[in-house]
Chain A
Amino acid sequence: MEIKQLEEVASQVRRDIVRMVHGCQSGHPGGSLGCTDLLVTLYFDKMKLAEKDGNVVFNMDGKGEDLFFLSNGHISPVFYSVLARRGYFPVPELASFRKLDSRLQGHPTTHEHLEGIRVASGSLGQGLSVALGAAKAKQLNNDDSYVYVLMGDGEQQEGQIWEAAMFGPNRNLDKVIAFIDLNGQQIDGPTQKVMDNRDLGAKYEAFGWEVMEIAEGNNIAAVSKGIDEAKTKAGKGKPVMVLLRTEMGAGVDFMMGSHKWHGVAPNDEQLAASLAQLPETLGDY
């Protein structure tokens, strides 16, 4: 897909995100907006997905296709929007986000059999382990597809992350491409103040990962180029860790540059102000 088309999808996804969070007056818009460009580029351009008659189909076992795991499950709005827009489930279902009897739970789950979700996430720190396990299954099945996983930077404070960080390189799971959403913010404030992660790149390198950076995580051309680079680095003995520098709230000017929009819903006026900045490209749900 052309960069311009991906940007159009991203604009619609951002509209979906603010409308979903506004619709239930809860959820996490900041990180969702920040990671929109990554998820759109992966699902609409980079990932090899199972298809039938030109439409994506969901098989839990994911054999022969690339997999994506969202470890920082609180940014579920971007995940749900991208999955729906990519064709995994009906777009109008986005309106049920966080409401009673919905398949779109506050945090992603397999429990309601929502197509596209392969594991529950939300309690932080678990997704990297799950992704490595899925990659191990692919290794055993002689399936050379990629396994992608996205984590938060605040999430790096969880101990399990570092157990998984040790495991991946030691078991040669080199088809794993992991991303850390380096937006520098977490609920209680800037990560540097709450609990400084210091040099994450050096840490992962020391654990045996191939580390690279995408400096402009909200520039789709840069993200696209970065993912291509990560794929060339994968499959050579080491898993790949991509430090993805993003802006929390990217695309909505008044949500950017602060942790304040981590988990706050916009009111009616703020919704209108957000949507005015985001062209409707694919039709609102």
Chain B
Amino acid sequence: MKKYTFTEKKDTRSGFGAGMQVLGQQNPEVVALCADLVGSLKLDAFIKENPDRFIQTGISEANMIGVAAGLTIGGKIPFATTFANFATGRVYDQIRQSVAYSGKNVKICASHAGLTLGEDGATHQILEDLGMMKMLPGMTVINPCDYNQTKAATIAIADHEGPVYLRFGRPVVPVFTPADQQFEIGKAWVVNEGADVSIFATGHLVWEAIQAGEQLAAEGIDAEIINIHTIKPLDEEAILKSVSKTGCAVTAEEHNRLGGLGDSVAQVLIKNLLAPQEYVAVDDSFGESGTPAQLMEKYGLTANDIVIAAKKAIARKNG
């Protein structure tokens, strides 16, 4: 098992803010919109340096999406930002018609996704956003795993022509990917090569997968760990290459098991390469209040859950 360490913990939303600051300096067409959550989205530096290119919309997310679509018509690259729940479920039809169907170059950037929002509870803990967004034709869907990857992804999507959903979160988590990385949309990252089971993880679950890999290694199980940061377009080649070697798969995501990364991987496998697959995901339920760590444990999204799923997948393969 390849060794991964971290020297600090940071929130992925701060990676987004850092990426926006870079874009503010590099790309004069980039504009930011926010629906009354500037501090939570870490936009302070961008706003300070580019006050004219920041658009406060107030608490009106539907209008924000429409305004963003309109901005693209004059050649702007709008980054529309709020919490993931309000950036997707609340404005699905606005995204569908004014952005996706209209083919507009809008970047929907969403913080506080998933259970790790914590104490605010289920009203704000969206676990259906990846599914909703990946169902929209032409939408690119990205869920990076740490501060550095989020920063790199933020910078990368400005150069991608077309609508993007970028999902990140609230809690501080280990920073374990390189600071100077290039982010390639749609290209999976092989975190660790292994032979016994393929673990496909996205977002906060990538660090859990690495810890699971270490536990499995201690028990003599050689796990391949792959970071699927881009849910759509999915790196099918990387998935098939890995599973054709290992013969079984685990998917891990901070999302409902219906409609997320797991289902995307299952579609690839069922069409091309039948193999046992286990899901580590929220089992079709809403979340609740609690600390992020408590919630990840209660809803089965920890390294230990990945270890159990990996063993189950291997047993099915061998059975």
Contact = CB atoms under 8 A, between A and B. Distances in A.
A143 interface: yes
B101 A137 contact: no
Contact of A133 (B53, B58, B70, B93): B70
B40 interface: no
Interface string B49-64: 0001101011010111
A140 interface: yes
Contact of A159 (B62, B64, B72): B62
Interface stretch (B6-14, B73-81, B237-245, B291-299): B73-81
Contact of A120 (B71, B72, B76, B101): B101
Given A109-B102, A110-B103, A130-B98, A167 B73 contact: no
B31 A163 contact: no
Contact of B73 (A128, A137, A163, A166): A137
A130 to B, nearest CB: 4
Nearest to A165: B63
Given A128-B66, A136-B55, A141 B74 contact: yes
A229 interface: no
Contacts, number: 122
Nearest to B98: A126
A107 to B, nearest CB: 9
B69 interface: yes
Given A111-B101, A111-B102, A164-B63, A130 B55 contact: no
Interface in A141-164: 141, 143, 159-160, 163-164
Contact of A119 (B55, B63, B104): B104
Which of B67, B93, B96 has the largest number of chain A CB atoms within 10 A?
B67
Contact of B76 (A118, A131, A137, A163): A137
Interface size class of B (residues with CB under 8 A): 20 to 34
B112 to A, nearest CB: 21
A122 interface: yes
B94 A143 contact: no
How many of chain A's residues touch chain B, expressed as a range? 35 or more
B63 A167 contact: yes
Contacts of B62: 125-126, 129, 159-160, 163
A242 B52 CA distance: 29
Given A133-B67, A167-B60, A119 B98 contact: yes
A63 B74 contact: yes
Contact of B65 (A60, A61, A129): A129
Contact of A61 (B75, B94, B97, B98): B75
A94 interface: no
A160 B75 CA distance: 24
A12 to B, nearest CB: 29
Contact of B71 (A109, A122, A134, A160): A134
Most interface-central of A118, A119, A167 (chain B CB within 10 A)? A119
B113 interface: no
B66 A63 contact: no
B97 A126 contact: yes
Contacts of A110: 101-103
Interface of A: 60-63, 67, 109-111, 118-123, 125-138, 140-141, 143, 159-160, 163-164, 166-167, 170-171
8 contacts: A119-B69, A129-B98, A130-B66, A136-B67, A137-B75, A138-B74, A140-B74, A160-B94
Q: Which 9 A-B pairs have the closest CB atoms?
A: A133-B70, A129-B66, A137-B74, A163-B60, A163-B63, A133-B67, A134-B70, A130-B70, A160-B62
Interface of B: 31, 52-53, 55, 57-58, 60, 62-76, 78, 93-94, 96-98, 101-104
Given A61-B74, A110-B103, A121-B97, 5 more contacts: A62-B73, A63-B75, A129-B70, A133-B71, A160-B63
